[in-house]
Amino acid sequence: GAVVSQHPSRVICKSGTSVKIECRSLDFQATTMFWYRQFPKQSLMLMATSNEGSKATYEQGVEKDKFLINHASLTLSTLTVASAHPEDSSFYICSARQGAVSTEAFFGQGTRLTVV
Amino acid sequence: SQQGEEDPQALSIQEGENATMNCSYKTSINNLQWYRQNSGRGLVHLILIRSNEREKHSGRLRVTLDTSKKSSSLLITASRAADTASYFCATDAGDMRFGAGTRLTVKP
């Protein structure tokens, strides 16, 4: 299957700093990327959907000023957690889809963010 | 927000037994996908079933889809200890939303 690379896999940062997470589709062009967060022993919650070249669509309750998503190219999307706080500590996962609906989405390996 | 519910939330069986997990959802979908996740790791895609399909097989996996009932099931036959993981269904209606998941434990 296609490969989606997510980086970093783990990050520990101080409260108040910003953290950037990258999601790259390595062998296909991703027209759509999704960002999720997952708390321990819970499911993945969709945060936002981004299409290349346009603004991300955020889910209700997700602060767009806090979780900045950029999908500037067909192979790269970034999620920046601005002014991170301990409650932002979570597992963040991206996924990428090459085509329209009904095509498989491929997932990155996730980023474990710990804010101290 | 999540799309639907999965049951059971947790399932514990002996090696060799079959495991059945169910997923219900609320809206119309283009396809439904099942994923597996080992603790704290990324997701592994298992199978995709389109809205016009009723059943699909892949190795020891069998997935059914009933769009009239808005439900799907994942059957793992002849389970192994290595099948221990969390299993999630995800509905695709343009965006992909996950069910709550089932934590499967297969005892050797």
C-alpha distances (whole Å) from B27 to each of A103, B24, B56, B63, B69 are 18, 10, 21, 19, 11
Top pLDDT among A37 and A101 is at A37
B43, B58, B88: best mutation site toward chain A, by most A Cβ within 10 Å?
B43
A102 pLDDT more than 90: no
Closest chain B residue to A48, measured at CA: B95
Q: What is the per-residue pLDDT for B7?
A: 83
**pLDDT band, very low/low/confident/very high, at B82 (cuts 50, 70, 90):** very high
B37, B67, B91: best mutation site toward chain A, by most A Cβ within 10 Å?
B37
Six token digits for residue B68: 């009239």
Q: B1-17, pLDDT tens digit by residue?
A: 556 677 889 999 999 99
